Amino acid sequence: MRADLLRAYAGSLRALRERAPDVGVPTLLARIVFWRICRGVGLRPVIRLHDSSRMRLTAAPGDHGVRTGVFLLRDHYEPSVRAAIDRFLQPGDVAFDIGANFGLWALRMAERVGPTGKVAAFEPAPDTLDGLLQNARLSGADAIETHQVALGAEAGVADLHMPADPGSASLAAHDAADGGGATTVLRVRVETLDAVWRATGAPAVRLVKIDAEGAEPLVLRGGADFFAACRPVTCCEINPPRLRALGFDPAVVMDFFTRLNYRCAVWSHAAHALAPRPAEGGGDVIEDVVFIPADQDEPNAWGAQRGTRS
């Protein structure tokens, strides 16, 4: 094997082990090698996720984005999100997945809420939404209800910048956010979270996941009534470069939930559970945080699972 390829494998293993220390080295190495083969010939492997879900991933040459991360790490891709879903959702609940992408977490939500619950998945990019629908069919996830719309501060239309990695689609141009040029700009419909919540019957939503690549403050601004009424547990990505690209201070997301008397948790690899987020925060590091209403749970119970697995 060529020395440069060995170095690439070693570098990938180190980075992945830092991100997901619970995944064994042999497993990671086997997945790295197989994914490189898939990318080289353009395969579309189907992988198993969570308890019983299936996801088809398109392996494109040079793809180092969300699809690669999901293939390599599976349930360990965003452990704070998985922990929150397992802790706070139970059969019959309602959950919203805002920025659902190909359905990684909508599928897990559907497993947890079961046939008596509902998952509303919001994804504005048509090709990405098609992938989500395919994965829902593969998994028999009948609880998932899809909405081809972006959520923002007010209803209208907006430009969605689509890079080669569809998981990084953003309202911010990618050269402004992270130096990468967008390959396509799509005009997409925008609604507010308050409006779509009311249109679906104003259900008591237990958990929300928001991953809007820097547009999270716009989602929150358009959901003031929703958050006041439902007070859902909220999983939210905080991406400082993308937030700044859209003109936001990264602290604006934290401030929104602080005003609503939420606590903030992050995944602790040491504790293997959700734990209070350090006061100093993560600087410019991209974080997946969980906001928990202070009146709903005790921090020492965050790592425990509520109910039973579906």
pLDDT confidence of 172, banded at 50, 70, 90? confident
176: pLDDT strictly greater than 80: no
pLDDT at 89 over 50: yes
The answer to whether residues 93 and 10 belong to one domain is: no
| C-alpha distance across the termini of the chain, in Å | 44
In this structure, are strands 150-152 and 184-192 parallel, antiparallel, or unpaired? parallel
Res 220: pLDDT: 98
Together in a domain, 64 and 83 = no
116 and 230 fall within a common domain: yes
Establish if 308 belongs to a structural domain: no
Average pLDDT (275-290) is: 84
Cα 190 from Cα 163, distance rounded (Å): 20
Indicate if the pLDDT at residue 132 is higher than 60: yes
From 38, 55, 72, give the residue that closes a domain: 72
| Same domain membership, residue 66 and residue 170 | no
Domain co-membership, 85 together with 32: no
Six-digit token string for 259: 């005003």
Say whether both 43 and 92 belong to one domain: no
Task: Say if residue 222 is in the same domain as residue 264.
Answer: yes
Q: Do the beta carbons of residue 120 and residue 99 sit within 8 Å?
A: no
Domains in the chain, number: 2
Q: Of the candidates 22, 50, 72, which is a domain's last residue?
A: 72
Domain interval for residue 21: 3-72
Q: Where does a domain end: 72, 90, 112?
A: 72
**Tens of pLDDT, residues 42-81:** 899 999 999 999 999 988 776 668 889 999 999 999 999 9
pTM: 0.90
Residue of 284 and 210 predicted with greater confidence: 210
Q: Residue 49, SS3?
A: strand
Q: What is the three-class DSSP state of 19?
A: helix
Say if residue 297's pLDDT is above 80.
Answer: no
Please report whether residue 310 resides in a domain. no
- Please check whether residues 262 and 281 belong to one and the same domain: yes
29 in a structural domain: yes
Does residue 163 form part of some domain? Answer: yes
Q: In this structure, are 202 and 103 located in the same domain?
A: yes
* pLDDT exceeds cutoff 80 at 167: no
The CATH number of the domain holding residue 147 is 3.40.50.150
In 38-183, at which residue ranges do the beta strands (DSSP E only) sit?
46-49, 53-56, 94-98, 118-122, 144-147, 150-152, 156-162
In a domain, 178, yes or no: yes
Is there a domain that residue 309 lies in? no
The pLDDT value recorded for residue 50 is: 94
Q: Bridge partners of 263?
A: 292
Asked if residue 100 has pLDDT above 60, the reply is: yes
Whether residue 57 lies inside any domain: the answer is yes
For residue 29, CA distances in Å to 23, 72, 77, 90 come to 10, 9, 16, 35
- Which of 18-32, 94-108, 185-199, 279-293 is the least confident region? 279-293
Does 110 reside within a domain? yes
Instruction: Judge whether residue 118 has pLDDT over 80.
Output: yes
Angle at 172 between CA 169 and CA 178, to 5 degrees: 85
Same domain, 128 and 166: yes
78: closest CA among 254, 237, 278, 284? 237
pLDDT at residue 244 above 80? yes
Do both 185 and 38 map to the same domain? no
Residues 150 and 185 in one domain: yes
Residue 165's pLDDT is 73
